[in-house]
Structure 1
């Protein structure tokens, strides 16, 4: 039975709710002994994978403590794991894990290159599934109506394929949202909310690479349902919805009236619904999701990083009573934190998923970096994340930075703070999190809002460079507001980064500049990127954009 069908079986919603709550309770119970849980995770991955090539090379059979593990295995990134992953994908076995991968998740790294993330049955049962189920608990607990009907949720990331690309060993190489966990891993309850909706499996032929047409077809069907929640994970996908509704509105209304989908007959014509939809545009002048789905109550996506700058205003597009719930702090390679309550940004460390280590974010990550364990990290500080788990990633530097918000039951609660990359042309060593915090400060100082932002370094003179910020304002900024914002941003960056302050004082960096774009510049840029064939889940907000062609594409959309 596929993911779409299970939501139509009697009692499925009740069974799903019970499983979600049970996994949340199990993760919460592990908080009573975080060090003990971490020791058990380490012992398990060492025993299970001791006979692999990697395990033999690094003496897994002799390791008993965390200190011994750190001494035996250097901190490693994807590139260091890649040779064994590529050999595994070509058909060799017993290299990183004792069990063979069933699928490979695809993930775009900071360079945009596609990774192959091996996904084994043991990884799914011990690392992935518990946090994956628990992540939905706050949504279904506080917004139970999302389970009352299969079409109550518009799941933007769900994108099943009929023809799956494969690696050399014949295993699928796809996004996590394109895997049927029920069929592959015996988890029929794992089908997410919204995967039983009429638009979950499109019944008209489409090019698998035409992601914009597929997005259109889903919206076309969803406007005829009473949607209560949108799931995007990647917030840029949710930010695109208001733009897409207006872009495609005439076509949507016509197809509702005619009873077609993608120009083909689909269901009965609905002229009454079409007339109501048409009146929305006539009355309001622009179509907002709140007009189309007036009973919508929740968004589920990442709420931190760049998204924290625009999500409050975006949420209003969907309705004044809409709540944004945070998606897990996780990568394709594994989870870090999952929200077990209604906290707006942070999730508790998933103690039984991986062995976690941390390095202060201002330090360089090196193979022999001194690491901190979960009980040693401090609230209010940013850290690089390193994890090890039974799925074959060992002391893996995932490339993300998290900020520790607080502790609940002795367990750190963390939020995503940005990528671990830095922008550094004059010793400023700016990180995503520092720039985002500085932007928040500068926006608050003038009561301004934005729809999105990106920045890059450009020459100011032959000897001095400066940061240029491309900003799509929420409402028009007056020249004096822009000047004040720029000055406040300069001060805030110096406060966040001592290196930036020193570079400015020494005349090595010029005063930042602001280039105002039109309000839709970033959503058009997102549409353009998806139109090139990139899956929507992988077209994410990127703060630092040094690529000349991509910068020109973005800033060429509007005035300067």
Structure 2
């Protein structure tokens, strides 16, 4: 979301707060009639898009309820939608939606290929904006000082582009955080917290794809502000900040002292702040975000997945008592769940946004797979997510798995459990969430901590069956006995999590897992190398399954067999 100087206008913060809390209250009210809301969303998308090519092909005008809809439209992924999306992006109207897209969100899936997600004004009004505003309610309600000044929030995902890439029909093809919703959709209040900070629009020239330099310049400016909150969405971006402060510390302090930004004069020299920063680093024997910004109160990002293993210790780098508030369960294609309170990981299903269907996470997604409706879900179970909305995606398998944490008034609260892809070398069919829970069990049982972790399947020594090799960056050195015990506990936990893994171990199709310990900064260096190659930081995410030889070698620094 590009910068909006409205944040500096009198009364803007109050109007923003009112809008956010009102949308939260509306979504909460909608939960009281989940079934009715779902039927209304279905009726609206069918009526609005009945005359489109997709609607005509699938008989939208004859569909009356969800059962008709499931019979008429197969379960589909992006590849199935892609032919009509490409024709739309070439300028052809009325294919998926009666509304013309005015922007295409980019999204990198597990393959790394960039999708084109058509975004229409009708989709934004009915599906996106209500959830988008409501998502900020727990933050601004419980930490109101984040709205008091434009520079109170360091928004790491904010990355405006002066000349964004476009599709053949001339519309921007960018990340959601690169779109000016006020200009594109007439929503002047939609500019996120931190998008009017001094570093939001960089005052010096930098190449659009030089993301590391942009991150440096923003940190350089932010060390002179009283930052109270960091917004990252992707937790890997927040995890990189302590590393970046250390990596760039001498350059930052020198530029603060000299009054420069990227070597160019900017503002006034500030020798007092430079000296203060130097004293902090000397006193603590290094620097952490808590030293630079002692009044940080909250981090806003995904709190599940691999991040759940390292967030507790990461929060300590930002200060005692700092809260980690969960970002919504959502994708570029649309929302799934939004936290309406301070639950640490889960959000209520956004029942007024899309028609939702679910498939048991152990099942394979096929065009005719049977689906469950929201009221049929069970707490503690994991499911593939499908959604259909007025923007032109129908029974769309987004590729995410969610876990139902609980049911509140019959409405599921869900948390992100991982990507839908499995690791399946010999029939073990491991999901991300199963491996993460097994890792957490082993960490808890041993009292160990890690900075990050990934794994791959490799051939075991001496011609034994393949095994899982876990690359772990520990916080502090692990003793040999601890490594051995951790590996054994991890193996046992994986067997409890997955019957397929247990059978593979019992049948000797898999050997026992092994560990390779890396230094604590290994994942941060790897993340920086990926970002340095030109990938936007929002898209460089934690990877639990890292089978690619090149990526594995880059991380571990060792050849692969």
Q: TM-score range by the shorter chain?
A: over 0.9
Secondary structure of the equivalent of 2:4? helix
1:549 alignment counterpart: 550
1:283 alignment counterpart: 283
How many angstroms does 1:475 deviate by? Answer: 1.1
2:495 alignment counterpart: 494
Aligned residues of 1:23 and 1:134 also touching (Cα < 8 A): yes
Aligned residues of 2:226 and 2:293 also touching (Cα < 8 A): yes
How many angstroms does 1:280 deviate by? Answer: 1.5
Q: Which runs of 4+ in 1 moved over 6 A?
A: none
Separation in 1, partners of 2:226, 2:321: 16
Separation in 2, partners of 1:156, 1:254: 23
1:441 alignment counterpart: 441
Secondary structure of the equivalent of 1:98? coil
How many angstroms does 1:321 deviate by? Answer: 1.5
How many angstroms does 1:407 deviate by? Answer: 1.3
Equivalences for 1:404-419 in 2 at 5 Å? 404-419=404-419
Aligned residues of 1:359 and 1:383 also touching (Cα < 8 A): yes
1:392 alignment counterpart: 392
Equivalences for 1:74-223 in 2 at 5 Å? 74-223=74-223
- 1:463–1:367 distance in 2 versus 1, CA, 3 Å: farther
Secondary structure of the equivalent of 1:385? strand
Separation in 2, partners of 1:313, 1:3: 32
How many angstroms does 1:463 deviate by? Answer: 5.7
How many angstroms does 1:409 deviate by? Answer: 2.2
Structure 2: gaps spanning 5 or more residues: none
2:225 alignment counterpart: 225
Secondary structure of the equivalent of 2:199? coil
1:241 alignment counterpart: 241
Separation in 2, partners of 1:380, 1:5: 44
How many angstroms does 1:3 deviate by? Answer: 2.9
Separation in 1, partners of 2:3, 2:443: 43
Aligned residues of 2:135 and 2:339 also touching (Cα < 8 A): yes
TM-score, with structure 2 as normaliser:
0.99
Aligned residues of 1:358 and 1:383 also touching (Cα < 8 A): yes
Separation in 1, partners of 2:261, 2:34: 52
Structure 1: gaps spanning 5 or more residues: none
Secondary structure of the equivalent of 1:383? strand
Secondary structure of the equivalent of 1:455? strand
Aligned residues of 1:4 and 1:201 also touching (Cα < 8 A): no
Matched, 1:337 2:342: no
TM-score, with structure 1 as normaliser:
0.99
Aligned residues of 2:2 and 2:179 also touching (Cα < 8 A): no
2:540 alignment counterpart: 539
Separation in 2, partners of 1:8, 1:161: 21
1:484 alignment counterpart: 485
1:516 alignment counterpart: 517
How many angstroms does 1:131 deviate by? Answer: 0.4
Instruction: State the number of aligned residues.
Output: 558
Separation in 2, partners of 1:163, 1:31: 41
How many angstroms does 1:2 deviate by? Answer: 6.9
- 1:552–1:67 distance in 2 versus 1, CA, 3 Å: same
Separation in 1, partners of 2:417, 2:424: 18
Q: Which shows bigger deviation, 459-468 or 32-41? A: 459-468
Aligned residues of 2:337 and 2:347 also touching (Cα < 8 A): yes
How many angstroms does 1:462 deviate by? Answer: 3.8
- 1:113–1:190 distance in 2 versus 1, CA, 3 Å: same
Aligned residues of 1:41 and 1:355 also touching (Cα < 8 A): yes
- 1:311–1:456 distance in 2 versus 1, CA, 3 Å: same
For residues 149-179 of structure 1, the C-alpha deviation after alignment (integer angstroms, 9 at most, x for no partner) is 0000000000001011000000000000000
How many angstroms does 1:4 deviate by? Answer: 3.1
Separation in 2, partners of 1:6, 1:553: 44
Aligned residues of 1:417 and 1:433 also touching (Cα < 8 A): yes
How many angstroms does 1:474 deviate by? Answer: 1.2
For residues 80-116 of structure 1, the C-alpha deviation after alignment (integer angstroms, 9 at most, x for no partner) is 0000000000110100000100000000011000000
Separation in 1, partners of 2:485, 2:51: 62
Q: Which shows bigger deviation, 454-463 or 197-206? A: 454-463
Task: Give the root-mean-square deviation of aligned CA atoms.
Answer: 1.1
Aligned residues of 1:4 and 1:200 also touching (Cα < 8 A): no
Separation in 2, partners of 1:484, 1:419: 29
For residues 281-310 of structure 1, the C-alpha deviation after alignment (integer angstroms, 9 at most, x for no partner) is 111121100000000000000000110000
Aligned residues of 2:41 and 2:353 also touching (Cα < 8 A): yes
- 1:60–1:146 distance in 2 versus 1, CA, 3 Å: same
Separation in 1, partners of 2:464, 2:366: 31
How many angstroms does 1:557 deviate by? Answer: 7.9
